[in-house]
Chain A
Amino acid sequence: MSEHHMTTAHADDHGHHDHHEHDDHANHGSLKSYTIGFILSVILTAIPFWMVMGNVFESSSTTAMVILGFAAVQIVVHMIYFLHMNTKAEGGWSMLALIFTIVIVVITLAGSLWVMYHLNHNMMPGMMHDGTHSTHKMP
């Protein structure tokens, strides 16, 4: 008796799976979304290359800032149009994992640069008397 119920449940389960899978595929983009993503990516890639190869800006720090901005925008474009990220996917867990990763990545990058910059700065000859930076170094 209970076995019979199990099989029914199992069959139902499969039906549900298939149905669910269809839902899954539905949010895996359309020709339109892939095309929009691709066109945006091409534009967002071409502009930084043009800026650097054509020496558009005088100062290289301006160029660096602008192309980093373009890279950040392009990463978001890829996330949305190619990786189909949204707040609802996997019940929000993939977004949570992504946010967590971004936090760690920012800490790793900014932390490394910050520490190493101050280390270089403080190790430079003639900087020993600079009290303000030394206090930064030793929390």
Chain B
Amino acid sequence: MSDITANTVDALNADPSARYYVREHHPQNGTLLGFWIYLMSDCLIFACLFAAYAVLGRNYAGGPSGAELFDLPLVAMNTALLLLSSITYGFAMLESVRKRLRPTMAWLAITGLLGAGFLALELYEFSHLIHQGAGPQRSAFLTSFFALVGTHGLHVAFGIVWLITLMFQLKRHGLIPENNRRLMCLSMFWHFLDVIWIGVFTFVYLMGVLP
């Protein structure tokens, strides 16, 4: 606190150019705020998909319903994988704050594997549904289901690509400020996907199997 006051007094007394640094620390936060606003806009995409599912989710067109299709133990497994990957990412962040590269990398790798496991289970579920003849073209319910869950899965896939890229960056440059910033952004992205998944498993799967 006193530090800030001292700086302000200095800034007022010193040459005008010295005042720049008072304003300069905005761009540092700018990335994180900008990324947060991107996430909020992503939230709007998901809101539209949720709204479509809410409207169309019971239009089976004589086809199978959610109660017949959804395999809740599989969904529970998926949820567990994503939740675990959220906390392992948290551990990676904690290690990165302590400037320990190796544990950071290890936790990131575990996060990536959990994310890949989630994606594998989801792809298995999708292929299973399509084999049963319950593909996205079967009914309005299945169209909106595949659009919503598929978009989330696509986000996870891109998150994993980003994670792998970031691991190479970390390996090459270490825990430099740029990489810390990237870690922060991916952290927000990853936890955000988990938040969306809460909506998906509650609204689509759990409410879908209710009679």
Contacts and interface: CB of A to CB of B under 8 A. Distances in A.
Contacts of B47: 104-105, 108-109
A84 to B, nearest CB: 9
Contacts of A109: 47, 50-51, 54
Contacts of B72: 49, 52-53
Contact of B43 (A9, A38, A52, A105): A105
Interface stretch (B91-99, B128-136, B147-155, B165-173): B91-99
B94 A64 contact: no
Given A82-B191, A105-B43, A108-B47, A28 B209 contact: no
A90 B29 contact: yes
Chain B contact surface mostly: helix
Given A20-B25, A97-B36, A67 B93 contact: no
A75 interface: yes
What size tier do the contact residues of chain B reach?
Answer: 35 or more
A100 B40 contact: yes
Interface in A72-126: 74-75, 78-79, 82-83, 90, 93-94, 97-98, 100-101, 104-105, 108-109, 112-113, 116
B87 A34 contact: yes
Interface of A: 2, 5-6, 8-10, 12-13, 16-18, 20-21, 24-25, 28-31, 34-35, 37-38, 41-42, 45, 48-49, 52-53, 60, 63-64, 67-68, 70-71, 74-75, 78-79, 82-83, 90, 93-94, 97-98, 100-101, 104-105, 108-109, 112-113, 116
